[in-house]
Structure 1
Amino acid sequence: MAGSKYCLITGCGNGGIGNALAREFVAKGYHVIATVLPGEYRDHLLNQSDISVFDLDVTDESMVRGFSNTVAKITNGRLDILVNNAGIVYTMPAVDTDIAHAKRLFDVNFFGPLSMVHHFHRQIVAAKGLIVNVGSIASVSPYVYGSVYNASKAALVHFMDTLRVEMRYFDVRVMNVISGEINTTILRHDKERSLPERSIFYDTMNEDYKAHCRRNPGSSLPSEYAKAVVKQAMKRNPKRWFWYGSNTTTVWALRTFFGQWVWEPVFGGMFNLKKVRGQPKGGRVEVIIEQPKV
């Protein structure tokens, strides 16, 4: 594919942002290298000659390392754009966070992009290319029931901001997309969640929580989002932080003009957390007594 421009996008499952971005980059003349999880549905990507589809689990570093060699053979060692899009969510109050779930989420949302940057940076430097990080307004606001997801996205934004400074003199650009909620299938694994019965929020908030998990994720369509992101990415000097999607203007304004204190009344009111005040029961308490070793 001599003379082609190449864009690698992780997490291109059906109905998601990655799929929409792949199609938009193809429309702009790129050959897209799209990844899906091993065994994941991919027929939606197989009907275009300018999209090559590969299995990739970004949490498996040996797989990422081998994939970088495969991509180098396709691109002749020059990758124009890397889009770190693969990600998962975990909806749960901070105090009820399951540690295994939290570690898995950080493996995908934070360490996965780190691994991609580590193993692909030489190809990007060779092309004087662009790294795009698909972030979230959750990275800059304490969105209720999203503490671990928020933290993973905040960590990634700061990593990418530092990467931008370090890579500037190699003529590599780094773009953080601060995304609002987009109407995708990302919440599909949260739909049937319920609060743990031991939770201090269980008695008063469980029905509200379940309704939140079953909500529609946003009014912005993936195709609209992709057009805006790709248009920005095509610029000679794309914005360091590019805000797009539902509620981004509101979050930007509150963060810019009011400060951190504003989130408590805003999100407290939005999620009706005042209901828990004065509730002495506060869920079921587990008492674990360790038996003395004989």
Structure 2
Amino acid sequence: MMKKVALITGVSKGLGKSLAEKFRSEGFYISGVSRSQPDTDIDLFIKADITDQTERDKVIRQTAERFGRIDILINNAGIGLYERWEGSDMDDIRKLFDLNLFSVIDLTKKAVPYLKETKGTVINVSSVAGKLYMPYMGAYCSSKYAINAFSDSLRAELKPYGIHVLNLIVGRIKTGFSKRAMGSKKPPETPYGGSPERFAEVTYKAYLKKKREIWYPHWYRYLIILAKIFPDTFDRISLKKWG
């Protein structure tokens, strides 16, 4: 049987690195995309800025030329923005949406013809911030709310072709994501953050079971429920935590 191929964006660090290591350990070829060289073994590294259309074309072309197939597309690359709406720079907002949403949509569109041939899977790394708004994270929340809608509608459209879509609702994980975010605000500490290695394990199991959506860490589900029951209390506590 021919080995399957996973194309992963944002592979150089954090969740992308852990996903690459996990899927490779399960026998996948890994085509990894990022702007910097990863310090983990993968089968093909493509240096690219996926906010550039020609670079996205290059990613698909080089993966197809090397392996002849794509079985999984993992849209992992993303960036945060911690700032109030009033003080947000429009160039930062455009940069955020270019990476978190528009590049995801276009890269997926370009990968779909190959995924039809393999009856493959699209895995989108979304966020709890796409299910629950947070003050000073409005732009980021908006990009992830959009990713959730993209995943759900895409799943329905691609189901007749045998392509599955898995959406990952991700909370705080110890990857240094916040340190790389844009904006002037510093996010409050969140206890009980998950590990990227455990996240990769959970994602792989969800892929095998063809789940539609998973939450990690799972306890964020309960935070959503409480926030919806007591919205005013949630707003007050959130503003206090952000200072």
Is TM-score (shorter-chain normalized) higher than 0.5? yes
2:234 matched to 1:234?
no
Q: Which residue of 2 aligns with 1:109?
A: 100
1:183 and 1:216 in contact (8 A); partners too: no
1:180 and 1:247 in contact (8 A); partners too: no
* Paired letter, 2:171: G
How far residue 178 of structure 1 moved from its aligned partner, in angstroms, is 0.6
2:221 matched to 1:222?
no
2:233 matched to 1:265?
yes
SS at match of 1:272: helix
1:142 and 1:263 in contact (8 A); partners too: no
How far residue 62 of structure 1 moved from its aligned partner, in angstroms, is 1.1
How far residue 269 of structure 1 moved from its aligned partner, in angstroms, is 1.4
Q: Which residue of 1 aligns with 2:33?
A: 35
Q: Which residue of 1 aligns with 2:6?
A: 7
Q: Which residue of 1 aligns with 2:217?
A: 245
State the identity %. Answer: 26
1:182 and 1:246 in contact (8 A); partners too: no
For structure 2, the residue ranges without an aligned partner over 5 or more in a row are: none
2:20 matched to 1:22?
yes
2:53 matched to 1:61?
yes
2:72 matched to 1:81?
yes
The higher radius of gyration belongs to: 1
Distance (whole Å) between structure 2 residues aligned to residue 56 and residue 234 of structure 1:
29
* Paired letter, 1:27: S
Q: Which residue of 2 aligns with 1:280?
A: none
1:137 and 1:251 in contact (8 A); partners too: no
Distance (whole Å) between structure 2 residues aligned to residue 131 and residue 217 of structure 1:
30
1:204-257 CA distances to partner (integer Å, 9 max, x unpaired)? xxxxx54x36x478621111111111111122xx221211127423234336xx
Distance (whole Å) between structure 2 residues aligned to residue 93 and residue 253 of structure 1:
25
1:10 and 1:36 in contact (8 A); partners too: yes
Distance (whole Å) between structure 1 residues aligned to residue 216 and residue 104 of structure 2:
21
1:26-54 CA distances to partner (integer Å, 9 max, x unpaired)? 111111111111xx242x12xx3x53211
2:79 and 2:180 in contact (8 A); partners too: no
For structure 1, the residue ranges without an aligned partner over 5 or more in a row are: 195-208, 276-294
Distance (whole Å) between structure 1 residues aligned to residue 90 and residue 204 of structure 2:
36
Distance (whole Å) between structure 2 residues aligned to residue 274 and residue 132 of structure 1:
31
* Paired letter, 1:75: F
* Paired letter, 1:239: K
2:73 and 2:121 in contact (8 A); partners too: yes
Q: What is the aligned residue count?
A: 243
Distance (whole Å) between structure 2 residues aligned to residue 163 and residue 271 of structure 1:
35
1:6 and 1:81 in contact (8 A); partners too: yes
* Paired letter, 1:6: V
Q: 1:190 to 1:82 in 2, by over 3 A?
A: closer
Equivalent runs, 1:41-190 vs 2, <5 Å: 41-42=37-38, 44-45=39-40, 48=41, 50-76=42-68, 78-190=69-181
Distance (whole Å) between structure 2 residues aligned to residue 264 and residue 144 of structure 1:
13
Distance (whole Å) between structure 1 residues aligned to residue 77 and residue 241 of structure 2:
31
Distance (whole Å) between structure 2 residues aligned to residue 186 and residue 104 of structure 1:
16
